[in-house]
Amino acid sequence: MTDPKKSTIIQLQSKHSPKPGSSWLSKCVYVLPLLLLLVGCGWSLWILWAGMLSEPKYHIPVGSLKFNSDLPMWDEARAEIEKIASQAEGRSILDTRLIPSLREAFLASPWVVSAEINRHFPNRLSIQLDLRNPSLQVLSGGYYWLVSSDGRLLSGHGLSERREGIVTLFGVKSYKPFVNGKWQDESVIGALMLIERFSEVDCPVEAIWVKRNSFKKDGKIRETRPYFLIRFVSGVEVYWGLCNIDDLQGEMTFMDKWSMIQKVKSIPGLWKRGLRVDVSTRVGGYWTVSTSSVTNSN
């Protein structure tokens, strides 16, 4: 005989048990409107943002860009920097890709070491550039090539005439690197080192000549390491010898040779144009210094 109470309980459980899938449907009823609201808000914001991007008052006017740092005197650098800066003209200050793309373009230039770019609403940019300047002009292939202090080729266009105010290097036989590449020639590296060291002792260089001697070994003609003849702005020339950029054993250091030159400079009336000093010769195991007169260098 069936217990009526148990039967009643079973019937109540049956009446209140959810239908298959009803829980998922009830969640959708609450979630779907929320999703539609979020999509609608996102679409509205996108339309608003697109409208602001096209708003003329946020566009950078043509010719309005001004640099916080002075542009260099080199025409090649000025033209390249202004060309890069013009990429921002007409674009919206709100464009999230504006500053990254502009900074990337500046840093791709061999003239630019670093670039700092800031927005100023409604339509202005400020650009701070750290620039390279040429330390050397290398005569190669009939043209003068501008090179920075770290050996970087600054321009792909050689100069037909020598520029005043930049040290000139003659006698380089190697091919020039690609633009923004570094000149790996030992003579270029050595010349840059000498320019830097002589600037530290306040004896500016005007020009450097690279010399090499040939010799025969194993049936082949070989050349010695480059040695240098230096002309200072004062007109005095120094037959320097090897640059000794890698501390060769048996070679004098820069300061050793400089101390020998200072002894010559201390002689009254001797240090003037037409004087040539030789600190590259070793006699009987001792380094010597000698002087002579010269009218020109070739």
Q: What 8-state DSSP symbol labels residue 272? A: S
| Distance from C-alpha of 34 to C-alpha of 39, rounded to nearest angstrom | 9
CA-only gyration radius of the chain, Å = 37
Does residue 114 surpass a pLDDT of 80? yes
Task: Tell me the mean pLDDT in the region 24-36.
Answer: 65
Among 33-47, 73-87, 104-118, which is the least confidently predicted range? 33-47
Q: List the structure tokens of 284.
A: 């009987």
Residue 28 confidence class, pLDDT cut points 50, 70, 90: low
Tell me, what's the pLDDT at 8? 41
Q: Is a pLDDT exceeding 90 seen at residue 262?
A: yes
Share of the chain above pLDDT 90, in %: 44
The reported pLDDT for the residue numbered 225 is 80
Q: Find the range with the poorest average confidence among 25-29, 98-102, 140-144, 148-152.
A: 25-29
Helix (H) or strand (E) holding 265: helix 254-265
- 147-168: pLDDT as tens digits: 999 999 999 889 999 999 999 9
In 3D space, the residue among 274, 246, 241 whose CA is nearest the CA of residue 260 turns out to be 241
CATH 3.40.50 fits 134-293, yes or no: yes
The more confidently predicted of residues 21 and 181 is 181
Q: What is the pLDDT of residue 215?
A: 62
Pairing verdict, β 167-170 and 205-211: parallel
pLDDT of 57: 80
Which of 6-10, 62-66, 200-204 shows the lowest mean pLDDT across its residues?
6-10
Residue 19: per-residue pLDDT: 54
- Looking at residue 175, what is its pLDDT? 86
Of 129, 18, 12, give the one whose Cα is nearest residue 70: 129
**What average pLDDT does this structure show over 50-55?**
60
Give yes or no for residue 252 having a pLDDT over 90: no
Q: What was the pLDDT predicted at 9?
A: 41
> What is the distance between the terminal CA atoms of the chain, rounded to a whole angstrom?
130
| Mean pLDDT in residue range 272-283 | 88
| Res 224: pLDDT | 75
Which residues fall within 8 angstroms of residue 90, CB to CB, at 6 or more apart? 59, 60, 62
Q: Is the pLDDT of residue 238 over 60?
A: yes
Q: Can you name the residues that pair with 222 across neighbouring β-strands?
A: 215
**pTM score:** 0.77
Nearest residue to 84 via CA among 59, 65, 102: 102
Domain parsing of the chain, residue ranges? 67-131, 134-293
Pairing between strand 205-211 and 227-232? antiparallel
Q: What are phi and psi of 110, to 5 degrees?
A: -65, -15
Q: Is 55 left (phi over 0), alpha (psi -120 to 50) or beta?
A: beta
pLDDT, residue 20, reads 55
Determine phi and psi for 284, rounding to 5 degrees: 60, 30
